[in-house]
């Protein structure tokens, strides 16, 4: 994860350097605009995602067992309790949002609650609360900023007419911006996907070690992945835009290209890691 973050940061530095050379007087305004977009994305993206996925905060009286499980995990992890929510959806899944522990929310779908045993649910919630403890939403927002910046630069260069300069040298330089931006966007997108897959494996590991029952998390993963095949495609399509937040992706593929673009490791990779952890813990 550290290597991937370093590469993303290095790519960002190179990209800004190219902008300084190519755009000269125009770059401060563009960076100011993209900076404002980043702040908006950083502060509001998690709330927008929770709203889009239909998360509804529930009290202890409304969901005593769910709150009890969250309380146990918080005690084990010595962390503040996040807000607890339920989403009305038959898609069996869970997610967590929030830039940090004070703004965090953990949500499960009604489909997940109906299908999992208590120890399996505990494993899933421990996975999601690991994302909260490690501030993964903030990490992924920062990591994806370069892609947002590069994508915006491509649109600005293509549609603003900056390339129509009377200075042929400057005009040619500005025409290179879409090419450079597109290349940076693709590389940033792929690196962000790699980072996302590492974060999911890290959350699985943290949950397995915290609960001491990697087999329960493995069972939940297997059950959720299997149940996805029984969900109507139209429901999965609605959930797919939020794959980066979900415990398990709405759609997954074993094809090499799809795996390269996926936000999650394959089920086989996740189960293999949990099997190793189980052996280390003595078969728990």
Which residues are the active-site residues? 128
The answer to the question of whether 227 is labelled as a binding residue is no
Distance separating the N- and C-terminal Cα atoms of the chain: 27
**198: phi then psi, degrees, rounded to nearest 5:** -65, -40
Q: What is the DSSP letter of 79?
A: -
Calpha distance 81→88 (Å, rounded): 22
Neighbours of 258 (CB within 10 A): 12
Calpha distance 70→106 (Å, rounded): 9
Calpha distance 99→240 (Å, rounded): 22
Calpha distance 82→96 (Å, rounded): 9
The answer to the question of whether 131 is labelled as a binding residue is yes
Beta bridge partners of 108: 86, 94
For every residue of 263-278, DSSP letters joined together read: SS--HHHHHHHHHHHH
Q: Under a CB-based contact definition with an 8 Å cutoff, are residues 145 and 41 in contact?
A: yes
Q: Under a CB-based contact definition with an 8 Å cutoff, are residues 274 and 214 in contact?
A: yes
Q: Under a CB-based contact definition with an 8 Å cutoff, are residues 152 and 232 in contact?
A: no
Positions at the binding site: 127, 131, 200
Positions at the binding site for Zn(2+): 127, 131, 200
């Amino acid at each position: 994860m550290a290597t991937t973050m370093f590469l993303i940061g290095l790519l960002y530095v190179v990209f800004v350097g190219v902008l300084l050379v190519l755009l000269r007087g125009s770059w401060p305004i563009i960076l100011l605009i993209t900076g404002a977009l980043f702040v908006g994305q950083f502060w509001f993206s998690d709330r927008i995602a929770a709203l889009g996925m239909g998360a509804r905060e529930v009290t202890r009286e409304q969901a005593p067992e769910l709150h009890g499980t969250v309380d146990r995990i918080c005690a084990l992890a010595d962390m503040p309790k996040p807000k607890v929510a339920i989403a009305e959806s038959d898609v069996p899944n869970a997610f967590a949002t929030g830039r940090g522990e004070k703004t965090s929310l953990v949500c499960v779908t009604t489909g997940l609650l109906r299908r999992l045993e208590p120890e399996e649910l505990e494993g899933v919630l421990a996975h999601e609360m690991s994302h909260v403890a490690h501030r993964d939403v903030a990490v992924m927002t920062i990591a994806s900023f370069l892609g947002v910046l590069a994508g915006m630069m491509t649109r600005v260069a293509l549609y603003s007419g900056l390339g129509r300069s009377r200075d042929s040298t400057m005009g040619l330089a500005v025409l290179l911006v879409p090419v450079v931006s597109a290349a940076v966007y693709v590389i940033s997108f792929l690196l962000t996907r790699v980072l996302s897959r590492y974060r999911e494996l890290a959350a699985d590991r943290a949950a397995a070690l915290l609960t001491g029952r990697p087999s329960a998390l493995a069972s939940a993963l297997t059950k959720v992945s299997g149940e996805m095949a029984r969900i109507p495609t139209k429901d999965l399509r609605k959930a797919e835009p939020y794959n980066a937040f979900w415990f398990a992706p709405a759609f997954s593929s074993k094809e090499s290209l799809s795996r390269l673009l996926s936000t999650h490791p394959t089920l086989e990779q996740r189960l293999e890691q949990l099997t190793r952890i189980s052996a280390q813990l003595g078969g728990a």
